[in-house]
A and B are shown apart, each in its own frame.
Chain A
Amino acid sequence: MIRQLIRFQNMDRRWIFLGMALAIVVPLLAPINFPFKIDERVEAIYEKIESLEAGDTVFISADFDPASRPELEPFYRANLHHFFAKDVKVVIGSLWPFAPPMVNPWLEEIAADHGKVDGEDFVFLGFKDGKELAIKLIADDVVKAFPKDLKERDTATLPIMEGKRQLQDFALMMSVSAGFPGTREYVLQVQGQYNLDMASATTAVSAPDYVPYYKSNQLFGLSGGMPGSAQYEKLVYDKYGNDSGLINARPIATQALNVLNMGHLFIVLLILMGNVAFFLTRNIEEA
């Protein structure tokens, strides 16, 4: 009995890997859907954007790479649909070198869906290295930080940039952030100094770290991980999805959210089993 338990404890971890793979694949192929509630932190983002007026301009910092794509792509897409459906202009920059080749095609695709004009209704400024230094410069002088956009046009002369010199000049700023540099650095470096209206969509990993910023109003909204994306997606697509015909998009996060159920249960089970085995063998060994 003890020997079996010890062997169970030391079993090849590849069995655990296989179990994890099954816990993901099975619910993907045979989905069971549960309803979910909308979090107030996510609703705050939605409400704030709803209160924007047509013609307002916002700044999005898209700081994520393919590695965190499943969590943030749904938010980024829904967010762009939301802005464009409200006729809000969007200026996007990035602090991650691997972001532009990924997020710019999505921007162009969604903008085309809404019939938006590059340079007038949206612009992608490109990538900027320098982490906190870049953030500082963007905050005080967007045009100096990005003299040219991704297509090498002079940023200063683009119609969308008229009267937009600092981050303060934008109606709000969204940080879609997968880590460093991202939301935290924006909050530290510029949110307080310039009193920006700023919200963040982030990976689940960073969410607990940013909750204090939400609690102290340094962020007006916070969407964390897959559930945050799914909730925001639901809010946006429920309002703008079918009625206006503007959005030709699938709720990708909602599909994934239901697979998470199984994954979480599997991990909880592993922790419990591991501990039961641990304590049983330990007590017996001590005796």
Chain B
Amino acid sequence: MVGEFFIPHHQYRAMTNEFLEWGLILSAGAFLLGLVNLVQVNLPKVQRRDTDWQYKAIMLVALVVTLVIGFAGGTARQQPGYSYKWFFDYVFVPLNATMFALLAFYIASAAFRAFRARNLEATVLLSAAILVMIARVPIGESIPVVGDYLPQLMNWIMDVPNTAARRAIFIGAALGAIATGLRVILGLERSHLGGGES
């Protein structure tokens, strides 16, 4: 896989592409493991009537129902009129989207209760945050006089200090990836195999 970057030869590419396809399949297999694990963990709970077993039962039923209507729908499952599509649109979408929307409220709460200008660093962070928040929405541009400079200042923060900081983080991350990559490939890293020899 490393060679793929340096070796343009088409036969080599054909080989790495084959490996990539296996990678896709195994990566999908890992998801299946999650499915099996979920059932393995929750089914006994329902059988034993553990705490909250009713909810676990709902979860398993929802899982089974989704699987059944999904496979029944087949290739056409995403067309209007299929129950899989109905489930997706009216059950999955609101649940998934609202989970994310909760964050707006938690941010408000954190802003009031936890976001403090305790020291110089936090003060810098705070000021930059407030500046960006005001300058990024239309109301900031509409403030007389100051409004002419706010968006520029915000763009400057994004373009210069932000770029500098991100690049430093990127470079660090890249060096880390090279080191880890080399360790894994040379077989020095075995922690992922669960060897427990460390």
Proximity string of chain B (128-146) to chain A, C-beta cutoff 8 Å, 1 when within and 0 when not: 0110011011110110000
A265 to B98, CA, bound (A): 22
Q: Pick the contact of B27: A133, A144, A268, A274 (CB < 8 A).
A: A133
Query: Nearest chain-A residue to B170 (Cβ)?
Result: A212
Q: Pick the contact of A227: B24, B28, B130, B137 (CB < 8 A).
A: B137
Q: Pick the contact of A257: B16, B97, B108, B138 (CB < 8 A).
A: B138
Query: Nearest chain-A residue to B20 (Cβ)?
Result: A137
Residues of B within 8 Å of A24, CB to CB, are 104
Summarize A's interface: helix, strand, loop or mixed. Answer: helix
Contacts A9-B113, A275-B116 known; A265 to B139 CB distance under 8 Å? Answer: yes
Q: Pick the contact of A152: B16, B75, B85, B158 (CB < 8 A).
A: B75
Query: Nearest chain-A residue to B107 (Cβ)?
Result: A267
Q: Pick the contact of A261: B99, B104, B138 (CB < 8 A).
A: B138
- Which of A36, A152, A273 has the most C-beta atoms of chain B within 10 angstroms of its own C-beta? A36
Residues of A within 8 Å of B4, CB to CB, are 136
Q: Are B17 and A140 in contact (CB under 8 A)?
A: yes
- Which of A101, A141, A258, A260 has the most C-beta atoms of chain B within 10 angstroms of its own C-beta? A101
Contacts A67-B96, A267-B133 known; A36 to B111 CB distance under 8 Å? Answer: no
Residues of B within 8 Å of A69, CB to CB, are 93, 97
Interface size class on chain B is 35 or more
A279 to B116, CA, bound (A): 9
Question: Is A250 interfacial (CB-CB < 8 Å)?
Answer: no
Q: Are A134 and B162 in contact (CB under 8 A)?
A: no
Among B15-31, those with CB < 8 Å from A are 16-17, 20-21, 23-24, 27-28, 31
Distance in angstroms from A86 CB to nearest chain B CB is 27
Residues of A within 8 Å of B69, CB to CB, are none
Residues of B within 8 Å of A9, CB to CB, are 113
Q: Are B31 and A264 in contact (CB under 8 A)?
A: no
Q: Are B138 and A137 in contact (CB under 8 A)?
A: no
Q: Are B139 and A270 in contact (CB under 8 A)?
A: no
Among A100-147, those with CB < 8 Å from B are 100-102, 104-105, 128-131, 133-134, 136-137, 140-141, 144-145
5 contacts between A and B (CB under 8 A): A35-B141, A136-B20, A261-B137, A263-B104, A275-B116
Interface residues of A (CB under 8 A from B): 9, 13, 16-17, 19-21, 24, 33-37, 65-70, 98, 100-102, 104-105, 128-131, 133-134, 136-137, 140-141, 144-145, 150-152, 193, 208-209, 211-212, 215, 227, 257-258, 260-261, 263-268, 270-271, 273-275, 278-279
A212-B167, A274-B115, A278-B116 given; name 15 further pairs at CB < 8 Å.
Answer: A35-B138, A69-B97, A70-B97, A98-B92, A101-B89, A102-B93, A130-B20, A133-B20, A133-B24, A151-B75, A215-B163, A264-B139, A271-B111, A271-B130, A274-B112
Please give me the 9 A-B residue pairs with the lowest Cβ-Cβ distance, nearest first: A34-B138, A130-B24, A67-B100, A133-B23, A137-B20, A261-B139, A270-B112, A66-B93, A274-B112
